[in-house]
Amino acid sequence: MLLRTKLHGKTYEFPDVRLLMGKANEEKSGDRLAGVAAESAAERIAARLVLAELPLWVLRQNPAVPYEQDEVTRVIQDAVDETVYAEIKDWTIGEFREWLLADTTTHEMIQRVSAGLTAEMVAAVTKLMSNLDLVLAASKIHVTAHCHNTMGAPGRLSSRLQPNHPTDSPEGIRAEIYEGLAYGCGDSVIGINPSDDSYSSVSRLLEMTYDLIKEWEVPTQNCVLAHVTTQMKCLQSGSPVGLVFQSISGSQKGCESFGINVGMLDEAYELAKKHCFPSGPNFMYFETGQGSALSADAHNGWDQLTLEARNYGLARRYHPFQVNTVVGFIGPEYLYDANQIQRAGLEDLFMGKLSGIPMGVDACYTNHARADQNANENLAVLLTAAGCNYFMAVPMGDDSMLSYQSTSYHDTASLRQLFRLRPAAEFEHWLESIGLMKDGRLTELAGDPTFFLKR
Amino acid sequence: MMEEEKINQIVELVLRQLQEEGLVPGGLKNQPGQPTFPQETITTGAATVFHPGAALSTHAEIEIDLPDPAGDNLRWLPRVKNAKDPGALIELMASTSARIGVGRAGPRSNTASLLLFQADHAITQDALYRDVDQRLLDEFNLMTVQTSITEGREEYLLRPDLGRQLSDAARQMITEKCQKNPDLQLVVGDGLSALAIESNLRQIFPVIVQGAQSAGLRMGTPFYVKYCRVGVMNDIGDILQPKVLILLIGERPGLGRAESMSAYMAYQPGAGQNDANRDVVCNIFEKGGTNPLEAGAFIVQFAQKMMQFQASGVKLKLAAG
């Protein structure tokens, strides 16, 4: 294999697909940490010049981890629609980019081609996209899913109400839910990250949120984002579960570092279909994020963008209701500053949608990254323009349990207003029926958590 | 301007509430009706702002002298206008440290809530990029060694791998100056918050030392690691071969809260170990977290349990049930 180009009079040669893929990325601290980043700005573009000429079949034949060694690779490769693949395998990555952006290429055409792609192809074309390319291409793709309500339809923007509490106090969490609902948040899910992963604590929070959903007839579902094994125990013992959650990683070794494997997820999915209380058919919720495989030394020498694309390839197996990257949570050693977080957020949304995933984004940052709330708001605007299914809704964007900053209750309301978007249809009707929303706008009553104290 | 009027209303409302609660002794210095939004300001003192524009229109000076909005009194003021049940709002807010009851301006947050958020982010940023006070380290006779980070905080943030390795000088210094094979080796590391160490060390350190003594455990020579990551426990374990290693390290700061510390513990740490081999007590801080005194006592007990079962982390969980 020869991978070489001249650029501005200098010759650049890349030894293999792995390094070509790494060096073609926009600058990221994590790729530097992994030793796969371009060593100069010119080398980065040289890598893209070569990548643009690479046919898709080369990427099919060069997965980030070999088929024999890795069950995530097997999941992705075995799911490829061979008919579609045969039609597109000779496209170059450069041609693929132009096809995605062409005005003649519709949402339906992209969804069909999606079935013939592997994660490495998805990652490769992303590397050739500018930020606005990513926004435009992503905005064409609408992936809907249904659990108790429908998410991802055009003209809709949903949010996960994230009422976390440092000690999982049901009273405190309930108060946060009241305020979130009062801002029109929670149509994707009421999803709590527990600080205590035990069965008793998790089942108690499931009961509390279920009771609240029933009392107010909220058209949404609940989820407690404990380890999947804890949630499986809850399902088996009859706790009311809306969505089943797990963090996933783009390689078998990465998944093992999360204490999961494909067999376990298969089992969780079967239990979810059998026991979750909403109608479905989509019951699963996954979180991802660039750098997670690298942080577990499970990246097999590949770049974090490619490993992230493999998350979506794995998630697709379970027809999830929602998947979101937690883009800035990982820290500055993987995404250094607001620029890198922004780029990764746009990449992840696009890759998820291209992979056929109903995709949301946790636009977020930690306090040791060079980012702030202004940068986070910028990213949320870009992601909304790109057709993000949902954001997190955290009180004032400050998660009092996980110690990071995300998007706020106010941000959900503001982004809807700004882009003339509405909540999921069932949820919008509900908000109207109780008087918190009228014609897509919050009413005077909105923003007051005491609204929900008495039905 | 319309915005001015709104802001004046909010300021007045808050200050009136404060006066009623006796939190602002002198009351309002700028009277209602006067412009309070300076178009041009000259700072004449730490908290006094002179406003020439106001003097032109009203021949009166504006003095703004605000109480601390981040203090406990103002921080938790309910800010929802026309709440259905104002009394219950206070109760809801008291049930969580999350920022609820914050109110809104259209779909955005109101000015006081926005500025409080920014104030908390600011204090966190200021806490992040500095070293632990040398006087505190001297107080506990902690010698300082460094990891393989050589280019400062920036490199520390970018290269976790180097923050997990002791420098050659550190290896030599530890080998020369520290007792080998102790029961308990205590190490302090800056991690991501110097403030966390400064806020908790005075409470937790003596408790661990005294607890170890009364349990008859042999303590090694404690020291401080600059640019420290948790993984450095392996390197230290290889040199000193303690039964149990305790690393007190500053956690990643939350918004407006940089004083939270973790204690990582491992039985016979060494090369190749990871978090599955370790136990951790996190959220150690006064007022709302795990109290550092209690944490210290718990840590010593837990170390004894590790020694009893000769294991830590997942292995200990399995062994002790």
Q: What is the pLDDT of residues B157-189, one digit of tens each?
A: 999 999 999 999 999 999 999 999 999 999 999
Provide the percentage of residues in chain A whose pLDDT is more than 70.
100
Location of structure tokens 């989820």: A223
In chain A, how many domains are there? 1
Tell me the nearest-neighbour CA distance from B63 into chain A, angstroms.
30
Averaged pLDDT for residues B217-225: 97
Q: What is the predicted pLDDT for the residue at B15?
A: 52
Provide the percentage of residues in chain B whose pLDDT is more than 90.
65
Q: What is the predicted pLDDT for the residue at B275?
A: 82
Quick: pLDDT tens for A183-232: 999 999 999 999 888 899 999 999 999 999 999 999 999 999 999 999 99
Q: Which band of pLDDT confidence, cut at 50, 70 and 90, is reported for residue B72?
A: confident
Structure-token pair, residue A99: 């096809």
Q: For residue A224, what are the β-bridge partners? A: A192
> Would the CB atoms of A33 and B98 count as touching at under 8 Å?
no
Q: Which band of pLDDT confidence, cut at 50, 70 and 90, is reported for residue B46?
A: very low
Q: What range does the domain containing A317 cover?
A: 145-452
From chain A, the residues in CB contact with B282 under 8 A are: none
- Say if CB A342 and CB A325 are below 8 A apart: no
From chain A, the residues in CB contact with B252 under 8 A are: 331, 366-368, 403
> Would the CB atoms of B161 and A33 count as touching at under 8 Å?
yes
Residue B40 has pLDDT above 80, yes or no: no
Quick: pLDDT tens for A249-286: 999 999 998 889 999 999 999 999 999 999 999 999 99
Which of A219-233, A336-350, B124-138 has the weakest average pLDDT?
Answer: B124-138
pTM across the whole model: 0.87
Outline where A128-258 has alpha helix (H): 131-140, 170-182, 199-216, 228-236, 252-257
Q: Which band of pLDDT confidence, cut at 50, 70 and 90, is reported for residue B16?
A: low
Does residue A250 fall inside a structural domain? yes
Residue among B84, B93, B159 whose CB faces A33 most closely:
B159
Residue B226 has pLDDT above 90, yes or no: yes
Which residue is closest to A395 within chain B, CA to CA?
B99
From chain A, the residues in CB contact with B97 under 8 A are: 165-166, 172, 400
Averaged pLDDT for residues A117-138: 98
Averaged pLDDT for residues B226-233: 96
Q: What is the predicted pLDDT for the residue at A192?
A: 98
Greatest extent of chain B over all pairs of C-alpha atoms, in Å: 79
> Would the CB atoms of A396 and B161 count as touching at under 8 Å?
no
Does residue A24 fall inside a structural domain? no
> Would the CB atoms of A373 and B99 count as touching at under 8 Å?
no
From chain A, the residues in CB contact with B93 under 8 A are: 175
- For β-strands A189-192 and B143-146, DSSP reports them as unpaired
DSSP A371-426: --HHHHHHHHHHHHHTT-SEEEEBGGGEETTTTEE--BHHHHHHHHHHHT-B--HH
Residue among B82, B100, B255 whose CB faces A367 most closely:
B255
Quick: pLDDT tens for A50-60: 999 999 999 99
Q: What is the predicted pLDDT for the residue at B314?
A: 80
Tell me the nearest-neighbour CA distance from B103 into chain A, angstroms.
6
The mean of the pLDDT values for chain B is 85
Q: What is the predicted pLDDT for the residue at B34?
A: 34
- Say if CB A151 and CB A145 are below 8 A apart: yes
Quick: pLDDT tens for A18-46: 999 999 999 999 999 999 999 999 999 99
Does residue A54 fall inside a structural domain? no
Q: What is the predicted pLDDT for the residue at B4?
A: 52
What single DSSP character describes residue B254?
B
Does residue A253 fall inside a structural domain? yes
Q: Which domains does chain B have, with CATH numbers?
A: 1-67 (no CATH), 70-128 (1.10.30.40), 134-320 (3.40.50.11240)
Contacts of A345 (CB under 8 A, 6+ apart): A325, A327, A328, A361, A363, A379, A382, A383
Measured CA to CA, the distance from residue A288 to residue B134 in angstroms comes to 41
Query: In degrees to the nearest 10, what's the CA dihedral of B115, B118, B123, B125?
Result: -170
Residue B8 has pLDDT above 90, yes or no: no
Which residue is closest to B85 within chain A, CA to CA?
A450
From chain A, the residues in CB contact with B124 under 8 A are: 367
What are the Cα distances from residue A19, in Å, to A15, A43, A51, A130?
A: 7, 11, 11, 20
The mean of the pLDDT values for chain A is 97
Residue B44 has pLDDT above 50, yes or no: no
Q: A392, A450, A455: best mutation site toward chain B, by most B Cβ within 10 Å?
A: A450
Quick: pLDDT tens for A294-329: 998 999 999 999 999 999 999 999 999 999 999 999
> Would the CB atoms of B80 and A448 count as touching at under 8 Å?
yes
Helix axes A338-354, A304-315, angle to 10 degrees: 30
For chains A and B, what is the number of CB pairs under 8 angstroms? 141
Q: Which band of pLDDT confidence, cut at 50, 70 and 90, is reported for residue A389?
A: very high
Q: Which residue from B206, B192, B193, B196 is spatially nearest to B139, judged by alpha carbons? A: B206
From chain A, the residues in CB contact with B157 under 8 A are: 331-333, 336, 368
From chain A, the residues in CB contact with B117 under 8 A are: 373, 396-398
Outline where B72-152 has alpha helix (H): 72-75, 86-94, 111-128, 134-139
Does residue A446 fall inside a structural domain? yes
CATH of the domain at A329: 3.20.20.70
Tell me the nearest-neighbour CA distance from A409 into chain B, angstroms.
9
A439 burial (CB, 10 Å; 0-12 / 13-18 / 19+) is exposed
Does residue A285 fall inside a structural domain? yes
Does residue A286 fall inside a structural domain? yes
Tell me the nearest-neighbour CA distance from A268 into chain B, angstroms.
23
Quick: pLDDT tens for A350-388: 999 999 999 999 999 999 999 999 999 999 999 999 999
- For β-strands B223-226 and B143-146, DSSP reports them as parallel
Which of A6-10, A410-414, B128-132, B218-222 has the weakest average pLDDT?
Answer: B128-132
Quick: pLDDT tens for B22-37: 444 433 333 333 333 3
Averaged pLDDT for residues B202-230: 97
Residue B290 has pLDDT above 90, yes or no: no
Does residue A84 fall inside a structural domain? no
From chain B, the residues in CB contact with A445 under 8 A are: 84
